[in-house]
Every structure is written in C-alpha cells, then in structure tokens.
Structure 1
Amino acid sequence: MATLIRPPPIDESQSTIENVLELTQLSDIDPDLFTNTRPLWHPPGARGIYGGAAIAQTLSAAQKTVSSDFTVHSMHCYFVLAGNADIPIIYHVERVRSGKSFATRTVQARQRGKVIFTTTMSFVRQNSGGEQLVEHIHPMPDVPGATDGLDDFIGDSEGKSPFQSQRLPIENDDAAHPHTKKCRQWIKARGKISSAGGHEAHLSAIAYMSDSYFVGTIARVHKLWRYSTQRKSNAKSSADEDVLKKLLAMDDAELRRQKFVDEADIQRIRRMRNGEDTSKDDTPEIGMMVSLDHTIYFHNPRSFRADEWIFTEMETPWAGDGRGLVFQRMYTQDGTLIASCVQEGLVRLRQPEPKPQPKL
C-alpha cells in the first residue's frame, strides 16, 4: 500500500506537482503528523524514492505549522535510509522554536518506525531586516534561454514527471580539471500552480526540482559511464536499464536530442550499438551514487513562480574518499537568484572483480 489513506481524485485546479506533493494531515492522531496523499515516484535504477519528494514534502509539512508572515530561508537535510515507494511515509513536525523574527522546525520522515529522512529548517518573518539592507548577488551567466514545449526527459510525454527540464551543454566540458566545469539546465513545474497554493507551493516545487541531476554532476564532469547493465549478485545497479535499451535503439541524431546524454555517452553507446565489447574500457563506471545530505538557502522566496522557467547551474569543488560535493544556484529568467543549494553524495566506482586465488 503506497498511501495510508485512499488517494482522492486528482484536483484538476492544481498543477501536477501540487498533486504529487499533496499531504494529508493526521489531525485525529496529532496535528503535527502528516502523510503522503499520493504514491511517490521510485526512479528506475534508484535505491529508493526520488529524494526531491522527501525534501519537498517535509518543507510542505513544516510550512503548515508557521504563521503566514513567516517564510523559509534555509533547510538542512539528511538522507538516512532509502525510501520505499510501496510504504506510506509519516512526517512528524517538531516545533523547536517560534520567536518574533525566526521560527525553527525539525521534520522526520518515517517508514516502519524508522527515520528515513530528517531535516531542520528555519523560517524568518517577512521584512524583518529593516529599511537599510546589505545586498549583493552572484550574477546569472549569459546563457541561451529555454524553449517552450521542449523537454529532455525520456517518457515525459507520458506525463510521468511533474516538471520539465532542458539541459544545456556542459561549460568547459573539455577542460582538464573537473572543478572548472559547470552543468546547466532550465527547469519548471508542469502546468500552472494554483493561486490557492500560495508562495508555499512554489517553494515546495523548487525544493522538489532542486534534486534533479544534482549529485550526478560529479559523474558528468568526470565523464563516468552511468548506464551499465552489469551488476553483482548482491548489489543493485545504479543505472536505468530500460533507458539504456531506449538509447541503444536511437541513432546519433536522436541521441543528441536527448540533452541528458553527454558526448562521451554517445560515443560509448555508438560502440555498444555496433556490437563492440566495452566491458574492458578504461572509462570508470559508477557502482553506486546516492545523496547523503541536501541544503537549500532560499533567497527572495516570494518573488518567483516555479511554473516559469528557472535556470540552474551546478559545479563540484571536490570529490574523494567515495564522496563528492556539488554547489547549485537557481535563477529566474530575469536573473534573480532565488536559491543556493549544496549536496554531498556517495560516489563509488564499480570495482574490478577480485582475481580468483590459486588453491593451495
């Protein structure tokens, strides 16, 4: 059972992402308990549910416990266990502090009594900074704009994703140093977010979208192979085998229209399509890649719409010891910086099979 209570019919007055993120308040048990109203998405090849759903739904739950003149300005999240899409999630909001200018909330997401995700977030009262302010902004780079009607996700024409994505070529893709490269994309929620959702719906939407391709930045700047169908008997593949099959069926022109596929991927797919043995390639393969933590700092939180194109730019300053760090900035089309995000993830390469030891 993917939900605790039978899901109601889809609300046609709301956008897809509002329906996806809808919560049910368990008031008869505790007014600070919530659960997912609809089943959550488990991306093919992933260890659990899409992380952005937990991020966004914990934010949605916390927003319901603060007064309307308070707005979230930061949230710090930890992915503890992989979420199971076949089991309802219970979200418990703890009202840590409610002050005159700031309010603090901690939210735990639980399945089968175990914490799978936890976050602490801070809310600030609107216009509490005073009349004179210290202000500056990291400017948005000059990039091509988004194209309406274009979507990079395979299968999105079937409406499986509540948001659209258009990826741009990697900046400095041929550079020798991964930290100098930047991965860029345009994203927006599908349809139109309802006026009833208020600014809270737009904030939850960008929280959901902020996890898109985030830790994957490390794989992209290192040109790691992500679509292997080889797997050990005791491990799950980090790749989407169904996507790989679709990619192998495409010609080069079709592949280049899939913006989530990089040039290094195209070259290897071409060789696989021609029947070449790529199992002994020098290109390292991802063995496991999962998010460990996720932080969002919200700027200008009431001055944007998540159903209009948002530009994101990601870069990674460090990777090592089986982990990697990625920074992300999110801008409106007119260059307003609306969020800065940080994520650390587990990034482990597929290790060579141990050589059999001679019997003594």
Structure 2
Amino acid sequence: MGDPTTDFAAMLTLEPHGPDVWVGTGPRYPWGGLYGGQIVAQALRAAAHTVEPEYRVHSLHAYFIRRGDASEPVRYEVDRVRNGRSFITRTVTARQAVGAILSMSASFQIDEDAPEVQTAELPEAPAPSELVQDSWSSMFDRATVPVTELAGRSRGWLKINADLGDDPVLHACALAYMSDDYPTDAVAALHPDRPGPDARPEDHPFVAYSLDHAMWFHRPVRAEEWHLTGMICHGIIASRGLTVGHVFTEEGIHVASVSQEVLLRANRKR
C-alpha cells in the first residue's frame, strides 16, 4: 500500500476497528486542519463497506461539526439505518479526540432500467489542456476556468491522480473528495469585499469554512478522467453562502450534482 498522505487509493484504504468501525488518515493541508473532502470521502468509503456491491452510491448529506486535526487519525462509526430492496441507508459519524467532527447520511441504490432525461448543459469552458494547472494538492489535478465577469460563479476541471481500477465506490469517493474544492470560490466571488484576481493569499479579506455538503451521483464516473464542475452561489445571508452546481464529463454528460453552504467571515488576522 502507498503512503496515505500522498496516494489517494492508500488514503481510502481504511483500517477496521471493530464492528462497523474504520479508521483513516490523510495528509497535512496547507491551511492546517483537515480538508472536508477527505472526511466526506472516507466516511462514504466506510459506509460502503457495509453495503453489498450491487448497490451503487446514490447520494450523501454531510454536516461539518468541528475542524479536524491532521495530526491524528479519524474514526468512522457506521450505523446500518435501513436495508431495503432498492435502497440502503447508512449514517456515519467521524470522530477524533475532540469529539464528532462530521455527521453524514449516505444512500445506495440498485440501478433500475428506466428512461433517462438530461436538461443540465455543460457550461462554456476551454479544454483543460488550454488552462493553467493550479492544484494545491498532489491528490488531484485542477484547471480553473476564469469567470471573473460572472459574480458568484466558479468553474474548473478536476481529475484524481491515482489508478482507481474498476471499483465504482472508489471513483465515487474520489469525486466526493474533489467536490469540496470549488464551492468556496463561488461564495467568495459573490462577496462585496472579494479581492481582485491578482490579490495575494495573505491579503484575502475573509476566511471560509464548509458548513454542510450534499451530493447526488446520477451516473457512474471515472474520476481519473477530467470532469468540469460549475458552481453558482445563490446568496449570502448571516455570513452563509449557498452554492449549487453540476459535474460533467468532457463530453457533456451530467454525472453528479453538488450543494454546499459556506461560512464566510472577516479575516481578523488581516
């Protein structure tokens, strides 16, 4: 197994610690603490360990309760809420020494033979090869699409840096890991005190925290291929900005939808 601080597949290889309990670790991130996408992805992986493989990941709804500590492992406790013929429901509580840091519900469904209709459209965007690569992590590649003329928008290409094989759960976890990246940018882009495109990180006027995160998986994905995420912030009230977005393949197939609420507050250190 690789290094869980640099290898995504290794980071998603959780260690069992008793009935329906798994423990995971990950890298130390530039801003300190843990990355919300890591906790969501590992929680989803833990939930999937209690589900038969014919059930595909359908959705997740997570609340970030406390800031995680990258210096200690995370314990994922799974509750088997319901086993149905078509749907399975699980809840996962992620804990560290400080207490619960995340609470998540996850749903799994057996694929059904039914009509498919897509109305979401791939936003206009240059190909990833035409953009600057600007990822802050070795876990995935990122190419941000400039949309400075559109308030409350963020848009960019993402793909995981790992060989995930043919495990559909691992690909869903990888997409969940990356999906926590662009929502904050959309909220910041709507804020009246947003910095200009040439602002340095130390000049950023506010700090951001993910409050909750929801995701719906419409179709199977190959997370090691480029996918475009397009997010829109629909307003900022009481320091909370709500973002909604879609994830597309390069061919324009709508594979997932994402929603997140972000807490944006003035940077007191500045």
Structure 2 regions of 5+ residues with no counterpart? Answer: none
What do you get for the CA RMSD once the two structures are aligned?
A: 2.7
Cα distance between partner residues in 1 of 2:39 and 2:83: 23
Question: Which structure 2 residues correspond to residues 266-277 of structure 1 after superposition, within 5 A?
Answer: 266=198, 268-269=199-200
Instruction: Provide the rounded CA distance (Å) in 2 between the counterparts of 1:224 and 1:68.
Output: 47
Query: Is the Cα–Cα contact under 8 Å of residues 105 and 120 in structure 1 kept in the other structure?
Result: yes
Instruction: Pick one of 229, 234, 238 that aligns with 1:321.
Output: 238
Residues matched between the structures, number? 268
Counterpart residue number, 1:67: 52
2:22 to 24, 27, 34: 34
1:200 aligns with 2:169: yes
Flag the 1:151–1:352 CA change in 2: closer, same or farther, 3 A.
closer
Q: After TM superposition, give the deviation of residue 316 of structure 1 in Å.
A: 0.3
Change in Cα spacing, 1:45 to 1:100, as seen in structure 2 (3 Å) is same
Query: Counterparts of 2:239 and 2:7 in 1: how far apart (Å)?
Result: 36
- CA deviation map 1:3-49 (0-9, x unaligned): xxxxxx518xxx932122221112xx32x00001xx42332234x20
Amino acid across the alignment from 1:33: V
1:285 pairs with 199, 202, 205, which one? 205
Aligned-residue identity in percent:
32
Distance in structure 1 (CA, Å) of the matches to 2:267 and 2:259: 25
Letter in 1 for 2:30: P
Q: Name the CA distance, whole Å, in 1 between partners of 2:30 and 2:106.
A: 30
Instruction: Say whether 1:25 aligns with 2:16.
Output: yes
TM-score, L = length of structure 2: 0.90
> Counterparts in 2 of 1:190-269, with a 5 A limit?
190-195=161-166, 198-222=167-191, 224=193, 264-266=196-198, 268-269=199-200
Q: For each residue in 1:229-266, what CA deviation from the matched residue of structure 2 results, as whole angstroms up to 9, or x when unmatched?
A: xxxxxxxxxxxxxxxxxxxxxxxxxxxxxxxxxxx141
Partner of 2:88: 103
Structure 1 residue matching 2:146: 3-state secondary structure: strand
Question: 1:225, 1:265 within 8 Å by CA — same for their partners in 2?
Answer: no
Aligned pair in 2 of structure 1 residues 20, 223: CA closer, same or farther (>3 Å)? farther
State the TM-score, normalizing by the size of structure 1: 0.68
Which has the larger share of strand?
Answer: 2
126, 140, 164: which one pairs with 2:111? 126
Given that residues 171 and 222 in structure 2 are in contact (C-alpha distance below 8 angstroms), is that contact kept between their aligned partners in structure 1? yes
Q: State the distance in 1 between where 2:234 and 2:211 align.
A: 17
Runs of 4+ in 1 over 3 A off after TM superposition: 221-226, 350-353
Alpha-carbon distance in 2 for matches of 1:222, 1:347: 9
Secondary structure, aligned partner of 1:291:
strand
- Determine helix, strand or coil for the equivalent of 1:169: coil
Larger radius of gyration: 1
- Aligned-pair CA distance for 1:149: 10
**What amino acid sits opposite 1:152 in the alignment?**
D
Aligned equivalent of 2:218:
299
1:165 deviation in Å? 0.2
- 1:352 Cα offset (Å): 11
